[in-house]
Amino acid sequence: MDTTTEALRRRYARRHVAARAGVYAAAIIAALVCALPFLWSVISAFKQNQDLYNPESNPFFFNKPATPDHVTFLFTDTPFLTFVVNTLIVGAAVVAITLALALPAAYSLARLDRPWGTPMGIAIFMVYLVPPSLLFLSLTRVVVALHLEDTLWSMIVVYPTITVPVSVWLLIGFLKAVPKDVEEQAMVDGHSRLGAFLRTVLPLVFPGIVAVVVFSFTLTSSEFVYALAFVSASPEMVVSTGVPTQLVRGDVFFWQSLQASTVITAVPIAFLFNLFLDRFVAGFTMGAVKT
Amino acid sequence: MTHAPTDRRPAAVQPPRARAKAGLADREGFLAWVMLLPSVVYIVALVGVPFLLAIAFAFSDVTTGDPSFDFAGFRNFDEILTDGVFWRALRNTLVFTLVSMVLIVLFGKVLANILVADFHGKWFVRFLVLLPWTTPVALSTISWLWFLDSIYSPVDWVLRHLGLIDANVVWLGRPGTAMASVVAVQTWRLTPLAAVIVMAGLVAIPRDIDEAARIDGAGFWRRMFEVTIPLTLPVIAVAGLFGAIMTFTDMTVPYVLTRGGPTHSTDVLASWAYFRGIEGGDVGQGAAIALFLFPLLLAGAIAILRAVRRLEAG
């Protein structure tokens, strides 16, 4: 009997090792498939022209010594830094507007128990699904009528239409996770309903608010259609439109610089997003849970 | 809701004016509206009104050169419906959306399962996996543009050195491979989003259900197909519909990768509306083309709503 349990144990151990190896193999393949174009961008960004523009040279290695010239060129001879600054300005302004609109709305829908709370929440979320491609033509006319064309303001005014609905949805989830006793205690202690929200609930959902900030910023920085339709003057462009339209002169692509700009933009955003991934996952589920 | 100051907090602490304001700040019905109103007004002004405006433009002769509004009846629709490019764009949109959606759901589910597993270096793997989705689409598509370059593509280089092809494929220069490239890039960039949504569903499965199945002797595949997938079906549906809607209405990948070419073989409704409405300056026709997105979009939104309802019920 001892031998059979021993054999069984060994079989399970073997199976366990095989399963672990499978998990690692799958994880490595997934990471490679997702990151390959970026990995390869990093290599190309530092290549010399003679190395890059030679169909016979191995595209995965440096066949000539690496050079930082094209990355320097990106910062000194192209408006890339202007695009980055513009993206940060638009992102910060949009995040501020989004929080100012979405926080009270989410509290109203999550906590104040109106009969229209749930349908209204769903209706606001559905607005997220209305795509820029349906609205950009008429919004361009609106932007022109407001004399905002070719300014950062055009994007600051319009982008919250994308970020507010998602943020309301996420914040409803985070607010529902705060126990109701917290506010009731605060109100017993003499705060008004509004005071209880501002002084006790807001600090508790702070982690959720940070997640919403990151999420809104990501959405803002990747938006393309509105930015392309509203702004055609280079100094007012953001990264997502400036790089593909301005770093290309006619048919001449500054390939190394383009690759560098992609990596420089991609890495910090993905890094930030990864920090908060668990919170997004939690937020999306909680938003759908009834209390 | 009323409340008297309690013993612990003497009334003297609060100035009289604060008490008067507290009256309004405590009326929940009033508060609920006041807090919600700014968002609703904003959305109505910048989504509702432009939407109606888009419909109006579709029936007008507005151009960027002559923005005065004149009613033109169904003329724009007559013109686009007799234009072969429109039908081509419609067909391309459907192919682009359906193929991408199936692939996104499939890979998204696999990726979600990998991401919920426990392993060393998970943080780094998650970072790499998120890159395609969090990077601005226009930029990652630029990387792909070079990846699929007609002369210097590393894909072709590898295939050449493996002896599989003699001359370069010119991925973006032929109708078939151009469409395949657009679908591949779209799938690549939306799979992480689908994976994150499916992860939310996987995390929500109570652990004891999975453990009960394990104790009953169900293996990995059996638990996958008889426990995990049925339980996460609504969330998989949500991921698929998100992917479909975002693909259906997207123009960035075709715009940057192929500019709709070669000869309109990768033009989709959204990109065709952009070329007509902004670059061609014919706002009326562009709006009429974009309007065709709406019926299918509505169907997708209703489907999402149903899936979410099922999530709530379950």
A92 and A58 together in one domain: no
ipTM of the complex: 0.81
Q: Which residues pair with A248 in a beta bridge?
A: A253
Chain A residue with the nearest C-alpha to that of B290: A134
- Facing B138 at nearest CB: one of A122, A129, A243: A243
A126 and A38 together in one domain: no
A53 and A113 together in one domain: no
B295 prior amide bond cis, ω within 30: no
Going by pLDDT thresholds of 50, 70 and 90, the confidence category of residue A90 is: very high
| B264/chain A closest Cα distance in angstroms | 18
A33 and A127 together in one domain: no
A41 and A166 together in one domain: no
A141 and A23 together in one domain: no
SS3 content of chain A, % helix, strand, coil (to 5): 75, 0, 20
For residue A57, how many other CB atoms are within 10 A of its CB? Answer: 17
Q: Which of A21, A45, A67 is the last residue of a domain?
A: A67
Instruction: List chain B pLDDT tens, one digit each, 314 residues.
Output: 444 444 444 444 444 444 445 566 667 778 888 888 899 899 998 888 998 888 888 888 877 777 777 777 788 888 888 888 888 888 888 888 889 989 999 999 999 888 888 888 888 998 998 899 888 888 888 888 888 887 778 888 888 888 777 777 778 878 888 889 999 999 999 999 888 888 888 877 777 777 788 788 777 788 888 877 877 787 788 788 888 888 888 888 888 888 877 888 888 888 888 888 888 878 888 888 888 888 888 887 787 777 777 766 65
A123 and A261 together in one domain: yes
A47 token code pair: 């290549």
**Each residue of A150-198: pLDDT tens digit?**
899 999 999 999 899 888 888 888 888 788 888 888 888 888 888 888 8
The percent of residues in chain A predicted with pLDDT above 70, rounded, is: 95
Chain A residues whose beta carbon lies within 8 Å of the beta carbon of residue B196: 277, 280-281, 284
Contacts of A163 (CB under 8 A, 6+ apart): A94, A95, A98, A102, A215, A216, A219, A220
A226 and A272 together in one domain: yes
A194 and A145 together in one domain: yes
Q: Which of A:161-180 have CB within 8 Å of B?
A: 161, 164-165, 168
Establish if A245 belongs to a structural domain: yes
Residue for token pair 């370059």: B149
Size of interface A-B (CB pairs under 8 A): 303
* Contact: A38, B131; criterion CB under 8 Å: yes
For residue A46, how many other CB atoms are within 10 A of its CB? Answer: 19
Which residue range is the domain that position A281 belongs to? 77-287
Answer yes or no: are the C-beta atoms of A211 and A93 closer than 8 Å: no
* Contact: B51, A259; criterion CB under 8 Å: no
Establish if A282 belongs to a structural domain: yes
Positions of CATH 1.10.3720.10 in chain B: 85-313
Q: What global pTM score does this model have? A: 0.82
Establish if A265 belongs to a structural domain: yes
What is d(CA B221, CA B215) in angstroms, rounded to the nearest whole number?
15
**Each residue of A232-285: pLDDT tens digit?**
887 888 988 888 888 876 666 778 888 888 888 889 888 988 888 887 777 666
Domain count of chain A? 2
* Fold designation for B85-313: MetI-like fold (1.10.3720)
